[in-house]
Structure formats: structure tokens, C-alpha cells
Amino acid sequence: MTNKPDYYTLLGLQRDASPEEIRQAYFSAARRLHPDKGSSAQDTEKFLEIQAAYEVLRDPKKRAKYNATLPPEKIESGLIQQIVLYSRQSVPRMKEPQLVYALIEFSTTIDSKALPAPPLNLCLVLDRSTSMHGQNMDKVKATAIQLLRRLRNSDTLSVVVFSDRAETIIPATHNIELKKLEARIQMLQTSGGTEIFQGLESGYNEIHRGLEKSHVNHIILLTDGRTYGDEEKCLELAGKAAEAGIGISGFGIGDEWNDDFLDKLASLTGGSSLYISRTRDIQPTLIEKFNKLWRVYAKESMLEFKVSDGADLRYAFRLQPEVGLLPVESPLRLGPILKDIDLKILMEFMVQSPGSQAEKVRLLDGEFKVSISSQPVPVQSVPLHLSRPVADSTKLQTPPEEIMKALSHLSLYRLQEQARREVAAGKYTQASRRLQRLATHLLEQGQKGLARTALLEAENIQHQKKFTQGGEKHIKYGTRALLLPKQEEDQP
Amino acid sequence: MIICPSCQYKEIPGALFCSQCGAQLVTTSDPDLQKDPMIETGSNTKGKPNLKSTSPMMSAGAHISLHLVESGQILPLAEWNEISLGRVAEGQPIMPDIDLTPYKAYENGVSRLHALLKMVHNHVLILDLGSSNGTYVNGNRLVPSVEHPLNHGDMIHLGKLKIQILFSPENK
């Protein structure tokens, strides 16, 4: 470990500086420090240093070799730092379009573990439609009561239930009379249909009443059914919630609910969506979600960006703290950074031919904003500039292991997405073949159960021309879960 | 463009995994080891320096055949990079690339998706896909999902089904 600044810092350059920029930086520094100017011995030493730096950076081969020895570039801005990994060191000069992946990690610069967790302002929005009747409802009630008991004095929890209309059974208040509130939850009965907008709107109103900047404001929606006709209104409300700093997370129980809708609802606000296939998973899944909310360090993180000309952002995915597909439009709401889990996102860019003169391919320029509850002052935003130098050689480059690992799982999730699109387009044979390939990869990764489901669905598509609702969700969320860090994978 | 070795899809340069079939398109080992593909693909073979000599490179365009010992039949394999061995069972959606049913696969305990043959950098590898009765190479049972290199004349058991692997040069 050496404390010497790297060659780029020495010359005041960014890592992706073009040869011309390097040349200019060197000459201006050299002019300043040249021994002929009769400067001090210290300056002469510096002069020799920049000389050495230039010797390396001017030569593309030496530079590439040197780059490989550098740790990933860190950009710090006060309390937040970012590290970017790219799938390739440089973009070869080619006529055809190429793909570049960037894995961006946002983390805290301070030891945040000891900080007190920000107070919660939560609303549980529970589906009480007839289909929830029985064990599912009992488990939901029991879990709600359990969560109520775990609240700290600073937390607020409101509960809204809905069917075709909504009812606020516990309003947002600090004044918690536990016994009374528990009784209200116990008395819940199932009835009616599922109109998510009704519940969501009441939930939004409750959260809004207790809305405070320093709190983690979050709506948790639990449903087991499809909502009809009010999806657009829900998404509009989610947009409004996001503006106000309210996150929405959606939990789908069983096989009937609309996963595309719930995923979208959650991603608009930086929240997460989850599939609960079995009744006994309701409790651990909800509690896990609460535990995450209790570990929030920075919240409402948002990336405002502009994709550069000649580049195309084709795919964006959040890898952690919670997995989920991201929309590819600015602003991107990314949810919280937890005290113990950084925020990581993966982006896929397609870049057009850099042209014969270009020395650099710009991918994206943006700004990462976040608010930290324990900090009264607004946190400075972090600039994000993604670009790659252009190289004339087309030498094979080994991508960082972390990108390979993430993509090895993400490519399976994307096979599943493609199979769904193919079924929707009536290409059943292709969809079926794709699921078989997916199954082979799953077997290679030791995912026997999921592979079996994929094969059964492949058959089902050939006969029935569609997925089974359960199988479809199982494969989607199963492949998505492969992206989670190992310790969370084996939950019962 | 780059061509996926597994499904021949024309993928955009820079892609790391095939968007059509999910196959990995780049190698990821330590750059120093890259010259020896055997070491990079079989993580359990590190530290066996003589491995290279015992695992001959297939010359480009060479053929591989499966010799089914019981029936004496020889199945030449056409151009391939990954090929799955198993058996088709009625009412099951599993379609291995090579169906061994005609060679008494069921009686010999071959799983529906039993093993995968892979061609990596002109080396032939076999991978057990978690079969019920196991895959053996020259009498040694393979650990599921771990690649094992194959040489000319190696005897493979899929369950009890005996197959000998034969390499033959192109112009023979």
C-alpha cells in the first residue's frame, strides 16, 4: 500500500482522459516545474514524478497495464461516495455498435452503523378482499400486530384496509394504545373485491399527514388480486408519492396478482416488489422488509441523468439492497442506502461507432442525490460521469468478476423476460425452447427446483399457449432472487 | 459482431452473455492462466501440471463420436459447442439434444437431463447435470455441475449406460 497519488491525480486528470488531455496536462505541469526555472529541490522532485507519470500514460500499452493496477476510482462528495466498474477498460474503434456495462456502487463514507435509525412513518395497506379469507388473512393480522408491538416511540404506523372501498382502521398517530389497536386488527373481516387505488389513496393520505423530512416515509401494499381499470390512477399516485419522498413497496400473495403492475408501482418510487408464494412466508417476508426500513441510512436516492449522444441506455437493474428492474428514464429513483448494504446498480449501454477521431465515448452524465435523515443539512449531490476511452486495438479484455457474477444471474432473468414477451407475441415454440435453455443454465448453477418449474412451464406453453400464473411468477422472482447476496438466498 | 458458440446468435460486441440462450461469451480467469484453457475451466484441476499433456487439443474441425459400447453403435456428433445427453420421457417437456432412449437409457438409469458435453477452446468437457444415478468417467464419479475434461478413449457411464468418447481428425 502506498500513499502516493496515482498518475492521474498527479496530473490533475480523470481516469478516462484522452491522450490530448494528458499531453496538455503534462506540458502545463512541466512548464511550471521545470528545473531550468530555478525552482526548489522539491519542485524538481515533483517534476521527475510527472515525468514518470507521463512516460506511462502517453503509451497506450503501458497505460492500460498501469490502469489495471489501480483500485476502482472513487468519487467522494461529503457523505456519499461512488465507485464505478466497467465491463471493459476501453472501447475498441469499430464500425458496429457495441455494449458496455457499468456497475455503480453508492456507499457511505462514514461508519454509519452506530447512528440511530431514522424514525419510521409507515402505512400498511392491506387487501381484505374475499379471496384473502382464511389463513392468509390470519397471518397478515398476526404479522401486523407483531409489527405494531415492535414500534419505537418515534415511529408511526397506520393501517388501511381495502376491498372495493378503503377504511383507515389505524390512523397515523403517535398516540399508541396498543390493546385497542390490536383489537381493531383482530376484528378485520374479509369481503368484496380488489380495488388497489382505493387503498393506496387512503394510505397516501395517512402517510401524508405524518409526513416528515427526517422520517422514512413508506407505504407497504399487500394484495392477492388483480385490480381492474385503476392501474393508471395508481401509477399516477405513485409518481406523486415519489415527489413527496414517499416510497411504495408491493407484496403479492399467491398467484393471481398482476406482477408487472406491482413491479412498476414500486420502481416508480424506489421501493421494492416481492412475491409471497406461500402463506407461511408472509410473516418472515414482511418482517424482513421492516428490518430493512429500520436500517436505512440515506433515503430517497435519485439519479438524474442524460444519456450522451451516440449511446443508448438499454437496461438498468438494481442489484442491492433490494433487487429490481429499473426504468431507463431520468430521474431514476433508487430507494435507500442501508447502513450495512450499499446501493448497487448495473447499466447496459449500447454505443455507436466512436468515429475515427474520437478519443473518448461518453455514456451518461448525471447527478446522484440523496437525503440523509441524521443530517439536518442537505447532502451535496454527487456528479456521475460515465465514459470510456477509445482504443485502436480490439484486444480481449477480461471484465471484472463482480460484473460477470451479476450478469450470469441477470442474463437468466432476462431470458425469462424474453420468454414472456414471446408468449405474448404468440411465439410459443421459441418461448418454450428458451425456457428449456434457462432450465439447463439453472441446473448448471444447481437450482434444481427452479429448473423443474421452467421445464414444466416450457411444456405448458406448448400445450396451453400460456404460462401458468404461479409458474410465471415463480420463475420471474426465482431468477431475480439469484441476484441477491448468498446469505439471503436460502430463506425457507 | 460476435457469434454465440452455443446458439450461433450474432451478438453485439461487448456482450458478456448471449441474450438469446444465456451462454457465457467471455472467459474470466486470471489473464496469466488464459493461455491454458483447461486450468481456467476446471477449477478443481489446478495444480496438476501434467493435465495439459493428457488432454489433447482438438484440432479445428475435428469430430467427436460417442461409441455406445453395449450396442456397438457409433454416434458422430455434428458441429456443436454444448450438447446435452438424456432421454425423452413421455409427457415430459424435457428435450435433451441427444436422446439415448433407443440405447436402453431408461433401463440403464439415465436421467432425463443427465449430462452436458461442452467444447471449450477445443477441449471437450463433461458436466453432470445433477443426474439421479451419476456420471462416471473411467470409473470415477463426477461431482454434479463441475466440469471434467475428456480425452480420446475415455469411458463414460451415464448411470449404467457405457459410452466411449472418440476423437477423430477431420480428414480421416
Interface test with A, best of B11, B25, B85, B94 (most A CBs within 10 A): B94
What interface predicted TM-score (ipTM) does this complex get?
Answer: 0.75
Does the pLDDT at position B85 exceed 50? yes
The pLDDT of residue A1 is 39
What one-letter code names the amino acid at A404?
M
Q: How far is CA A189 from CA A126, A149, A162, A199, in A?
A: 12, 21, 11, 16
Q: Which position has the higher pLDDT, B63 or A122?
A: A122
Q: List CB contacts (< 8 A) between B17 and chain A.
A: 407-408, 411
Q: Hey, what CATH topology would domain B63-168 get?
A: Tumour Suppressor Smad4 (2.60.200)
- What is the helix (H) or strand (E) element at residue B79, kind and residue range? none
- Rounded CA gap, A369 and A380, in Å? 7
The pLDDT of residue A249 is 94
* Closest approach of B22 to chain A, Cα-based (Å): 6
* Closest approach of B16 to chain A, Cα-based (Å): 7
Q: List CB contacts (< 8 A) between A91 and chain B.
A: 14
Across the interface, whether the CB atoms of A97 and B93 are under 8 A apart is answered no
* Tens digit of each residue's pLDDT (9 = 90 or more) over A288-328: 998 889 888 888 889 999 999 889 999 999 998 999 999 88
Work out the pLDDT band at A150, boundaries 50, 70, 90: confident
Interface test with A, best of B18, B21, B117, B146 (most A CBs within 10 A): B21
Could you tell me which of B152, B153, B126 has the C-alpha nearest to residue B141?
Answer: B126
Work out the pLDDT band at B45, boundaries 50, 70, 90: very low
Interface test with A, best of B17, B118, B120 (most A CBs within 10 A): B17
pLDDT above 70 covers a percentage of chain A that reads 93
Across the interface, whether the CB atoms of A412 and B127 are under 8 A apart is answered no
Spell out the residues 6+ positions from residue A311 whose beta carbon is closer than 8 angstroms to its own.
A349, A350, A351, A352, A361, A362, A363, A364
- Rounded CA gap, A205 and A187, in Å? 23
Across the interface, whether the CB atoms of B26 and A396 are under 8 A apart is answered yes
When the pLDDT of each residue in chain B is averaged and rounded to a whole number, the result is: 74
CA atoms within 13 A on the CB side of A261: 21
* Closest approach of A363 to chain B, Cα-based (Å): 14
All domains of chain A, ordered by start, with CATH?
7-69 (1.10.287.110), 74-113+297-391 (2.60.40.1510), 120-294 (3.40.50.410), 401-488 (no CATH)
The pLDDT of residue B44 is 40
Lowest mean pLDDT among A18-27, A410-419, B6-15, B31-40: B31-40
Across the interface, whether the CB atoms of B17 and A396 are under 8 A apart is answered no
The pLDDT of residue B58 is 47
Across the interface, whether the CB atoms of B18 and A411 are under 8 A apart is answered yes
Point out the residue among A407, A443, A444 whose CB comes nearest to the CB of B17: A407
Does the pLDDT at position A489 exceed 70? no
3-state secondary structure at position B86: strand
Q: Which position has the higher pLDDT, B134 or A15?
A: B134
The pLDDT of residue A103 is 95
Q: List CB contacts (< 8 A) between B24 and chain A.
A: 404, 408
Q: Where are the domains of chain B?
A: 2-54, 63-168
- What is the helix (H) or strand (E) element at residue B121, kind and residue range? none
